[in-house]
Structure 1
Amino acid sequence: MKLTIKYFASVREQLDVAQETIEIDAQHITIDGLRKRLVASGPRVAEALREDKPVRVAVNQEMVTSSFVIRQDSEIAFFPPVTGG
């Protein structure tokens, strides 16, 4: 399954990458499952997306929960919570 992953704000700064396309050997995967796979890919990603860090996720520009099931050719965006002021 081909996925486009986008990183925003402090997540992008930590990873020093704004976007990447990855291949996952599965027909579908949850956000939580994807996050765990990404965290396992290296220490920088592990730090940026670690489980105890508040990170919001959107799939195809709609906010989703960690149990949302991702399908082929989806665009996934990771970003920190935004506060106003």
Structure 2
Amino acid sequence: MNKLLFFAGLKEIINADYLEMDLIGKTVREAKAELLTTYSDLPLNSVMTAINEEFALDDDIIEKNDIIAFIPPVSGG
């Protein structure tokens, strides 16, 4: 099982701080696609993804007990 963390406006879209899903063996890209089947309004094409607090690429593989974070772009001044 994996814990998925969402930040800023993303957690408002899913109406939770995190989700738990079994994504073991899937790529980050596949995880995003699976999320979009339920939460089609998540802007996952513009977010940064981290696995266990390290930035990840879409081809990175998710392993057992990994924590995946989705971080939207930050703006400000």
1:29 to 26, 39, 52: 26
Alpha-carbon separation, structure 1, partners of 2:20 and 2:36:
16
Consecutive unaligned residues of structure 2, counting only runs of 5 or more, are none
Which residue number in structure 2 is paired with residue 15 of structure 1? 14
CA root-mean-square deviation: 1.5
Structure 1 contact 4–73 (Cα < 8 Å) conserved: yes
Cα displacement (A) at 1:83:
3.2
Matched residues, percent identical?
A: 23
In the superposition, the TM-score normalised over structure 1's length comes to 0.80
How many pairs align?
A: 77
Structure 1 contact 6–19 (Cα < 8 Å) conserved: yes
Alpha-carbon separation, structure 2, partners of 1:75 and 1:46:
21
In the superposition, the TM-score normalised over structure 2's length comes to 0.87
Alpha-carbon separation, structure 1, partners of 2:11 and 2:60:
22
Consecutive unaligned residues of structure 1, counting only runs of 5 or more, are none
Cα displacement (A) at 1:80:
0.5
Which residue number in structure 1 is paired with residue 50 of structure 2? 58
Q: Secondary structure at the match of 1:48?
A: coil
Alpha-carbon separation, structure 2, partners of 1:84 and 1:49:
19
- Confirm or deny that 1:75 pairs with 2:72: no
Cα displacement (A) at 1:23:
2.3
